[in-house]
Amino acid sequence: MPDKVAPIPLPEPRTDSDISVEKTLTMRTSIREFKKTSLTLSQVGQLLWAAQGMNRPEGHRTTPSAGALYPLELLLMAGEVEDLDPGLYRYTPEEHHLIPLLKGDLRKDIATASLDQAWVREGPAILILTAIYERTTGKYGQRGYRYVHMEVGAASQNLHLQAAAMGLGTVAVGAFHDDKVNALLHLPNDEHPLLIMPIGKPH
């Protein structure tokens, strides 16, 4: 893939729906079996926005962040997403864009790196939450680590609830080999994978 690749704009996220937060809370459960149905670009955009999107003009996000330092990064591994080539993408909250990183369907490889958990490869897309700790530990020192871990939990719950509201499902996968995931995703040295979340229509 050439160095300079055009960002892919995502459809505007919706900020309202007919389903209540209370209803999504009753529906939330880990989903580990997915239908073969593809996701649309609009569904993917909505999920990314729910996890890390901007919800106010000053640049703050749907997920709270200690000191508004935003240590989390969000990657999309697309397998079967309409109008999007299989591959790895980085979400940019400010623009609500995807930056292409790697080409090809990498779901089987990340499932292998995740202790062969079958559900990791079976969702049409996977959201990967990573952290650049230094953004937070630079200000808060050792305490920054716990802040980052709290934040990834909040982002993952946003994803769970947004998925449920859309008739989709996900599971937070924390069991994987860091070194294998780092190598597969070509992550920079200061970026660390925290959660892998396959998403699709529940079976």
Q: 182-191 long-range contacts, Cβ below 8 Å, gap at least 24?
A: 184/106, 184/109, 184/110, 184/113, 185/75, 185/88, 185/101, 185/102, 185/106, 185/110, 185/128, 186/101, 186/102, 187/130, 190/132, 190/133, 190/134, 191/73, 191/130, 191/131, 191/132
Choose, by CB under 6 A, the member of 62, 117, 136, 170 that binds ligand FMN. Answer: 117
- Whether 136 contacts 148, CB under 8 Å: yes
For ligand FMN, the closer CB: 31 or 185: 31
Give, as ranges, the residues between 154 and 183 that touch ligand FMN (CB under 6 A). 171-175
For ligand FMN, the closer CB: 58 or 179: 179
Per-residue x/- marks for ligand FMN, 7-46, CB under 6 A?
----------------------xx-x--------------
Closest-CB residue for ligand FMN? 174
Least Å from the CB of residue 113 to ligand FMN: 12
For ligand FMN, the closer CB: 10 or 119: 119
Least Å from the CB of residue 157 to ligand FMN: 9
CA–CA–CA angle 18, 173, 152 (5° rounding): 65
Number of residues that bind ligand FMN (CB under 6 A): 9
Least Å from the CB of residue 3 to ligand FMN: 34
| 148 belongs to the binding site for ligand FMN (CB under 6 A) | no
For ligand FMN, the closer CB: 185 or 197: 197
For ligand FMN, the closer CB: 10 or 74: 74
Write the CB contacts of 99 (distance below 8 Å, at least 6 apart in sequence). Answer: 5, 7, 8, 89, 90, 92
Q: Cα(148)–Cα(163) distance, rounded to whole angstroms?
A: 22
Q: Which residues sit at the interface with ligand FMN, rule CB under 6 A?
A: 29-30, 32, 117, 171-175
